Amino acid sequence: MSIGKAEFVVDRSLYVLYENLRMLNPSVFDMVKALNVVLVQQGWAINTCEDLEFFIDLIESYEQEMP
Protein backbone atom coordinates (compact mmCIF):
# COMPACT_ATOMS: atom_id res chain seq x y z
CA MET A 1 0.00 0.00 0.00
CA SER A 2 1.41 3.38 -0.88
CA ILE A 3 0.89 6.54 1.11
CA GLY A 4 -0.56 9.63 -0.44
CA LYS A 5 1.44 12.77 -1.04
CA ALA A 6 -0.51 14.57 1.67
CA GLU A 7 0.77 12.03 4.21
CA PHE A 8 4.43 12.19 3.18
CA VAL A 9 6.71 14.07 5.56
CA VAL A 10 10.38 14.99 5.29
CA ASP A 11 12.39 14.17 8.40
CA ARG A 12 15.93 15.15 9.36
CA SER A 13 17.55 11.98 8.00
CA LEU A 14 15.90 12.40 4.60
CA TYR A 15 16.88 16.05 4.52
CA VAL A 16 20.51 15.19 5.36
CA LEU A 17 20.53 12.55 2.62
CA TYR A 18 19.17 15.09 0.13
CA GLU A 19 21.82 17.67 1.12
CA ASN A 20 24.64 15.12 0.94
CA LEU A 21 23.50 14.05 -2.52
CA ARG A 22 23.34 17.68 -3.65
CA MET A 23 26.95 18.19 -2.56
CA LEU A 24 27.98 15.28 -4.79
CA ASN A 25 26.22 16.99 -7.72
CA PRO A 26 24.88 13.86 -9.43
CA SER A 27 22.62 13.91 -12.46
CA VAL A 28 18.94 14.36 -11.67
CA PHE A 29 18.35 10.76 -12.73
CA ASP A 30 21.00 9.42 -10.32
CA MET A 31 19.77 11.62 -7.48
CA VAL A 32 16.19 10.44 -7.92
CA LYS A 33 17.35 6.80 -8.01
CA ALA A 34 19.28 7.28 -4.77
CA LEU A 35 16.40 9.08 -3.05
CA ASN A 36 13.95 6.40 -4.16
CA VAL A 37 15.97 3.73 -2.33
CA VAL A 38 14.93 5.44 0.91
CA LEU A 39 11.55 6.78 -0.19
CA VAL A 40 10.28 3.34 -1.23
CA GLN A 41 10.82 2.16 2.35
CA GLN A 42 8.31 4.85 3.38
CA GLY A 43 5.81 3.77 0.73
CA TRP A 44 6.45 6.57 -1.73
CA ALA A 45 8.71 7.18 -4.73
CA ILE A 46 9.59 9.90 -7.20
CA ASN A 47 8.22 8.64 -10.52
CA THR A 48 7.27 11.81 -12.38
CA CYS A 49 8.42 15.40 -12.73
CA GLU A 50 5.41 16.34 -10.60
CA ASP A 51 6.60 13.98 -7.85
CA LEU A 52 10.06 15.55 -7.98
CA GLU A 53 8.62 19.06 -7.78
CA PHE A 54 6.46 17.98 -4.82
CA PHE A 55 9.52 16.50 -3.07
CA ILE A 56 11.58 19.66 -3.64
CA ASP A 57 8.72 21.77 -2.27
CA LEU A 58 8.71 19.59 0.85
CA ILE A 59 12.47 20.01 1.23
CA GLU A 60 12.15 23.79 0.89
CA SER A 61 9.37 23.84 3.49
CA TYR A 62 11.52 21.75 5.82
CA GLU A 63 14.42 24.20 5.38
CA GLN A 64 12.20 27.14 6.32
CA GLU A 65 11.05 25.38 9.49
CA MET A 66 14.60 24.61 10.62
CA PRO A 67 15.91 26.74 13.52
8-38 pLDDT, tens digit per residue, is 789 999 999 999 999 999 999 999 999 999 9
Q: How many CB atoms lie within 10 A of CB 52?
A: 15
- Predicted pLDDT at 6: 55
27-44: b (≥16 Cβ within 10 Å) or e: eeeebbebbeeebeeeeb
Q: How confident is the model at residue 5 (pLDDT cuts 50, 70, 90)?
A: low
The pTM for the full model equals 0.83
Q: What is the CA radius of gyration of the chain?
A: 11
- Predicted pLDDT at 14: 95
